[in-house]
Amino acid sequence: MTFQTINPATNKLVKTFDEMTPAVVNKALENAATAFGDWKKTDYKERSQLLYTVAGLLRAKKKVLAQLITLEMGKLLSHAEGEIKLSAEIFDYYAKNAKGFLADKVLNPVHGKALIRYSPVGVLLGIQPWNFPFYQVARFAAPNIMVGNTVLIKHAANVPQCAIAIEELFTEAGAPLGLYTNLLVSHDRLSEMMADKRIRGVSLTGSEVAGASVAAEAGKHVKKSVLELGGSDAFIILEDADIDKAVEWAVVGRINNNGQCCVASKRFIAVESIADKFLEKFKNKLAEIIVGDPTEEKTQLGPLSTEAAAVKIADQVKRAVEGGAKVLLGGKRVDREGAYMQTTLLTDVKPGNPVFYEEFFGPVALFFKVKNEQEAIDLANDSPFGLGGSVFTQDIERGKRVANQIDTGMVFINHPTWTQADLPFGGTKASGYGRELSELGIDEFVNNKLIRVSELSDPF
């Protein structure tokens, strides 16, 4: 297998990398295990200094690194710079807060004294997606390196230069050999790697199929796994919502990252009293979206990550229409070179439609009209996914009540599902399990070790 940089704006091959040999991968595992033996003994000050340095390098190289992101997966250049900024913030966040998060927790047992001490577990494997090639790595690597673990990264095949660049940042920052290692390996070799006793845990962000495979393999070898598997976020507009504000955020929620975001707003559910008004304004705003070269400042929607991704979503729209859906806007590929898809708005997608339960990973919005709040909640929950969701209302307490009834890992009120370093990220149902970011994100791959001190008169 080879790893290729193919510019999705032109579909032209830019650069090719060979897969690592088994001997090279084994040496990487050996280095990671050796590094863990030393790294787990370091103090939080040394670990945090490394992360602060990585964050500083990200900021210093922001423009160059952003260009790599845009080249390899088509993200708008301005958004790519934003991703680098967010990644640096994540490294800073854990460098600053990990010591407090991992401080001993004193218990008060009936007899004796006891505490919980948080300690690292070993070498971890992170399987990362292409859609946020730096941010996804940051939210996995930063907390776990602060815990004292070492990490191996198997990145997506279409962003090899981004993957290599991140490892180079750690090397330049002074990370010891084996602390952070990028692996250019195929998915076919992951089973063999997860069986290796030197790997103690695995985290994957990807598809439901990939997640099921990784979870099964990890379970087979009694290893902890964390999965973030995409979603089909509902965007609920209640009758008392600020419609103009809801439309503004609906557009952002749907086309952010060219529509290729796990927590993108994908199903727009409006109560009937304001549904037509919202739909008309939403359609008009989507129609104004400027599609073009992701490096140009005026562009609002770039290409999908690959030609295969564009073909897939165009086929989904075709199957939706064959199943009874109506195309209110777009629906076809853009007539230009590259992996482009028109901004698309579908209505009348009924439960019997073959795409009803599918995730649309691109600039395609599905619109639904419901009678009332309860129908909106029921429809939002009628999905195999449970990652995020949004509720738009000017009554915040009402918004909280609705949010409490939505079966997802995250719900935002008056904002599409979003991310930042100090907010936990993760889902439920087919969207996976476990959490990343915030204090919760540092607690996935630790040994919560009980230390109990007995008194001489202890009855046990």
Domain map (residue ranges) of the chain: 2-229+431-451, 233-413
pLDDT at 457 over 60: no
State the pLDDT at residue 172. 98
Contact 75, 411 (CB under 8 A): no
Nearest of 422, 456, 443 to residue 116 by alpha carbon: 443
Distance from C-alpha of 185 to C-alpha of 197, rounded to nearest angstrom: 18
Q: Return the structure tokens found at 359.
A: 């995730």
Mean pLDDT, rounded, of the chain:
97
Whole-prediction pTM: 0.96
pLDDT at 459 over 60: no
**CATH dotted code for 233-413:** 3.40.309.10
* Percent of all residues in the chain with a pLDDT value above 90, rounded to a whole number: 97
Q: Return the structure tokens found at 150.
A: 């070492």
CB atoms near residue 454 (< 10 Å): 12
**CATH dotted code for 2-229+431-451:** 3.40.605.10
Per residue in 433-450, pLDDT (tens digit) is: 999 999 999 999 999 999
pLDDT at 29 over 60: yes
Give me the mean pLDDT over the 280-295 stretch. 98
- What stretch of H or E contains 267? strand 265-271
Give me the mean pLDDT over the 395-408 stretch. 98
Give me the mean pLDDT over the 88-97 stretch. 98
Give me the mean pLDDT over the 92-115 stretch. 95
Q: Half-sphere exposure (CA, 13 Å, Cβ side) for 374? A: 0
Nearest of 195, 144, 168, 161 to residue 35 by alpha carbon: 144
The gap from C-alpha 172 to its chain's centroid, in whole angstroms, comes to 26
List, in sequence order, every residue forming a beta bridge with 436; answer none if it has no partner.
425
Q: Helix H segments across 44-203? A: 44-60, 62-73, 77-101, 135-147, 160-173, 190-195
* Cβ burial 301-332 (10 Å sphere, 16+ → b, else e): bbbbbbeebbeebbebbeebbeeebebbbbbe
State the pLDDT at residue 458. 57
pLDDT at 84 over 60: yes
Distance from C-alpha of 156 to C-alpha of 129, rounded to nearest angstrom: 5
pLDDT at 326 over 70: yes
Residue whose token pair is 């439920």: 428
Contact 364, 346 (CB under 8 A): yes
Distance from C-alpha of 79 to C-alpha of 35, rounded to nearest angstrom: 35
Distance from C-alpha of 232 to C-alpha of 364, rounded to nearest angstrom: 12
* Cβ burial 404-434 (10 Å sphere, 16+ → b, else e): eebbbbbbbbbebbbbebeeebbbebbbbbb
Contact 367, 350 (CB under 8 A): no
State the pLDDT at residue 1. 79
CA angle 78/79/81 to nearest 5° reads: 65
- What stretch of H or E contains 403? helix 396-404
Annotated active-site positions, please? 228, 262
pLDDT at 415 over 80: yes
The gap from C-alpha 430 to its chain's centroid, in whole angstroms, comes to 14
Amino acid, single-letter form, for residue 238: L
State the pLDDT at residue 456. 58
Q: What is the dihedral of CA 84, 154, 141, 180, to 10 degrees?
A: -100
With cut-offs at 50, 70 and 90, classify the pLDDT of residue 454. Answer: confident
State the pLDDT at residue 140. 98
Q: Half-sphere exposure (CA, 13 Å, Cβ side) for 353? A: 22
Contact 153, 96 (CB under 8 A): no
Per residue in 202-260, pLDDT (tens digit) is: 999 999 999 999 999 999 999 999 999 989 999 999 999 999 999 999 999 999 999 99
Distance from C-alpha of 220 to C-alpha of 437, rounded to nearest angstrom: 27
Contact 355, 323 (CB under 8 A): yes
